[in-house]
A and B are shown apart, each in its own frame.
Chain A
């Protein structure tokens, strides 16, 4: 599901496997666990990079798991439960006592996009991968904390409108131009390298 590695002052949180890294209670629980480890080991000069393996950063909530509830009402309840369980993940990232970087090498969709956006810096691939909030297409509303996060992080009203009301699938180029991500690069390795470089820069700034 996810692993944590420490390389000097760098904490590397990886969503493992070639799957869509969809959030269900298990993955959320693992993430919270690892993030609390990061917090416990934090020192001056620490930096977190969040990576994902494969074609996806994360495709959001595990809708299959939700629908396995067996009824429409059951599915809605499971989705609501996941939205509630996911909130602490965002809260923990926002309160993490170190700079945080999301290295987005694949699609970041719905809660996956939200996870990425909870980091201080977003670095994305130009040649592959999209940022997408499909809620308007699947006809569900967004939890209040997700609305609030997007409002805080994305200053441009038109961008927020395009993401939420148009279900825009935003590629790296556009994301960089419109200020949703810090930078976009061609290739997975380049994104990871850029993330590490940025992490080292931030590390040095604090260590001064």
Chain B
């Protein structure tokens, strides 16, 4: 499902498992959220977290097989709603994480997988063999708040329209130009290493984790309002 590795001050969240598409179902969601709690519980000054995965996919969205395996239409809807709830919890957990976060997108990401990537402060991506695809439009699935708020918070201008309203399959260079990702790299190893290096550089800034999280919440205040969380003002400078 996922594992959390600690390397010095770095937390490395790895999407593992036979499920090559790393599709989000209750098990994987719980696993990630639990890993984030463990990271949060440790002293966080000068920490950083990088999320990596292996294989052709970063995360291909919700486990629709699991959703559709339900016994009835009603239960199918319930399962889908459950995944939406979990995704919301995931966004909450990332927004409140008291350290900088980086997603190293080694492969394809779709729908909920893009939300997962965008939960991070920084997104790095593979130049080739990696595509971002908001498949929701093509599947006829509405995107509810707070995920729309996340898109509004993280992506500006026509890039957001193009991501959500055109059903585009966005490759690395394009994602870079659109401002969705910070940088692109050739190869899975390169993007993973770049993610770890960036995490290391940010960790060295030795930021106070709690304050970092509160500044982040202030930065994404509309999203936080919709999630129902408030940012706490901290006025005592640690000079």
The reply to whether the CB of B219 lies closer than 8 angstroms to some CB of chain A is yes
The CA-CA distance from A144 to B205 in the complex, in Å, is: 25
Of chain A, the residue at the smallest CB distance from B100 is A165
Grouping DSSP codes into helix (H, G, I), strand (E, B) and loop, the A interface class, with mixed when no group exceeds half, is helix
B181 vs chain A, min Cβ distance (A): 10
Of chain B, the residue at the smallest CB distance from A160 is B219
* Contacting pair B154 A157 (CB below 8 A): yes
Please indicate the chain A residues that have their CB under 8 angstroms from the CB of B234 in the complex.
Answer: 139-141
The CA-CA distance from A73 to B219 in the complex, in Å, is: 25
Of the listed stretches B70-78, B164-172, B189-197, B208-216, chain A binds B208-216
List CB contacts (< 8 Å) of A122-180 with chain B.
135-144, 147-148, 151, 155-158, 160-161, 164-167
* Contacting pair B156 A141 (CB below 8 A): no
* Contacting pair B155 A157 (CB below 8 A): yes
The reply to whether the CB of A92 lies closer than 8 angstroms to some CB of chain B is no
19 residue pairs of the A-B complex, CB under 8 angstroms, read A80-B233, A80-B235, A83-B235, A136-B205, A136-B211, A137-B205, A138-B237, A140-B235, A140-B237, A141-B211, A141-B214, A141-B215, A141-B234, A144-B218, A147-B218, A151-B221, A160-B219, A164-B218, A165-B216
The CA-CA distance from A171 to B233 in the complex, in Å, is: 28
Please indicate the chain A residues that have their CB under 8 angstroms from the CB of B236 in the complex.
Answer: 72-73, 75-76, 79, 139-140
* Contacting pair B179 A158 (CB below 8 A): yes
Please indicate the chain A residues that have their CB under 8 angstroms from the CB of B156 in the complex.
Answer: 155-158
* Contacting pair A167 B211 (CB below 8 A): no
* Contacting pair A167 B205 (CB below 8 A): yes
Residues of B within 8 A of A (CB): 100, 121, 153-157, 179, 182, 202, 205, 207-208, 211-212, 214-216, 218-219, 221, 231-239
Contact of B207 among A137, A151, A155, A157 (CB under 8 A): A137
- Interface contact tally, CB-CB below 8 A: 85
A146 vs chain B, min Cβ distance (A): 9
Please indicate the chain B residues that have their CB under 8 angstroms from the CB of A63 in the complex.
Answer: 237, 239
* Contacting pair A138 B238 (CB below 8 A): yes
Contact of A142 among B155, B215, B238 (CB under 8 A): B215
B206 vs chain A, min Cβ distance (A): 9
Contact of B179 among A77, A79, A157 (CB under 8 A): A157
* Contacting pair B179 A165 (CB below 8 A): no
The CA-CA distance from A51 to B230 in the complex, in Å, is: 37
* Contacting pair A143 B233 (CB below 8 A): yes
Please indicate the chain A residues that have their CB under 8 angstroms from the CB of B154 in the complex.
Answer: 157
* Contacting pair B237 A147 (CB below 8 A): no
A123 vs chain B, min Cβ distance (A): 23
The CA-CA distance from A126 to B150 in the complex, in Å, is: 34
Of chain A, the residue at the smallest CB distance from B180 is A158
Please indicate the chain A residues that have their CB under 8 angstroms from the CB of B182 in the complex.
Answer: 158
A30 vs chain B, min Cβ distance (A): 24
Q: A164-B215, A165-B219 are in contact. List 16 more A-B contacts (CB 8 A).
A: A79-B235, A80-B235, A136-B205, A138-B239, A139-B207, A140-B211, A141-B215, A141-B233, A142-B215, A144-B218, A144-B221, A147-B221, A155-B157, A157-B156, A165-B100, A165-B212
* Contacting pair B215 A136 (CB below 8 A): yes
Please indicate the chain B residues that have their CB under 8 angstroms from the CB of A80 in the complex.
Answer: 233, 235
Sort A-B residue pairs by CB-CB distance and give the 6 closest, nearest first: A139-B208, A139-B238, A139-B211, A138-B237, A76-B235, A76-B236
Please indicate the chain B residues that have their CB under 8 angstroms from the CB of A140 in the complex.
Answer: 211, 234-237
A130 vs chain B, min Cβ distance (A): 17
* Contacting pair B233 A165 (CB below 8 A): no
The CA-CA distance from A148 to B218 in the complex, in Å, is: 9
The CA-CA distance from A161 to B218 in the complex, in Å, is: 11
